Amino acid sequence: MVIVLDLDGVVYRGETPVPGAVPSLNLLSQRSYSLFFLTNNSTRSRRHYAQKLARMGIPARPDQVVTSSHVTGCYLSERGAAGRTVYTIGEEGMAEELALAGLRVLPDDTEEQADYVVVGLDRKLTYARLARAYDQVRGGAAFIATNRDATYPIEGGREIPGGGAMVAALACATGVEPVTVGKPETHPWRLILSVTGAAPEEALMVGDRAETDILGAKRLGMRTALVLTGVTRAEEVPGLPEECQPDVVLPSLAGLPPLVEEWEAARQVRRPGVPKAFGTAGRAGG
């Protein structure tokens, strides 16, 4: 069974693990479930996130981490972009992942016309770089968004502007709508399923943001669990659109192992329908 987990607001907030996350994920790993960590945050590389998880007590390899920058690199590479040029609004991790995918990342002050402009979260974005990205798109570069998350959660229950804010600024200026690659588009989950060979019904997505984590996974027919340690509050769940309604709502990852065990037991005996844990206490809207 494949379990895909969002990071910010699900496994941790900033540099602090969410209560219950470390023992729950270690237990699932010990029981041989395939864990993947999927984040729309484009600022860091897969290697960085694996190291961060390890420091928190969650052993993880870089190939278990899927970032929106990595997905963007794969998306472009599959479309023949290897060796072509890209101008970025983003941080070091984005440039690293795009270079690993075979693209040539142009310097911030380049005068060369790029083939692509890729935009993600950039906490040091300047007006000069935004203006250069504008020139690149107006000059014919394809406009790609790693994600369109308006905000992301940090310590203390706060949210701050996310990559979607940078995307919106460039879209507003150029009048061009970008191709979005990260959640809720299905590219990230398709990549994970292709690597594992799992069918959608053999995979579970655990996230905190209904309009990205839950929506995208449901589009592929995956099971979904919404945790309340991040962006979405309990009182908001009943009002979510049908396409964003999760199969189950959990207070935190502490409730994940028993849920997974019951679902897996039901799947192994080919019992039809949704297992009890998905259909009783904690059911979305219930």
Q: Which of 8, 122, 149, 247 is catalytic?
A: 8
- Under 8 Å between Cβ of 37 and 53: yes
Nearest to 37 by CA among 147, 142, 188, 179: 188
Query: How many CB atoms are closer than 10 A to CB 57?
Result: 12
Torsion of CA 63, 68, 69, 71, to 10 degrees: 60
- For the question of residue 213 being annotated catalytic, the response is no
9: left (phi > 0), else alpha (psi -120 to 50), else beta?
left
Residue 252, CA atoms < 13 Å, CB-side half-sphere: 14
5 phi, psi to nearest 5 deg: -125, 130
Using CA of residue 34, residue 274, residue 22, residue 219, what is the dihedral sign?
Answer: positive
Query: Cβ distance 102 to 82 under 8 Å?
Result: yes
Chain position carrying tokens 């049908």: 242
Burial of 220 (0-12, 13-18, 19+ CB in 10 A): middle
Measured between alpha carbons, how far is 279 from 286 in angstroms, rounded to an integer? Answer: 9
The answer to whether 149 is a known catalytic residue is no
Compute the Cα dihedral for 192, 197, 199, 201 and give only its sign.
negative
What secondary structure letter does DSSP report for 208? Answer: S
**Nearest to 68, CA basis, from 153, 166, 188:** 188
Which residues are designated catalytic? Answer: 6, 8
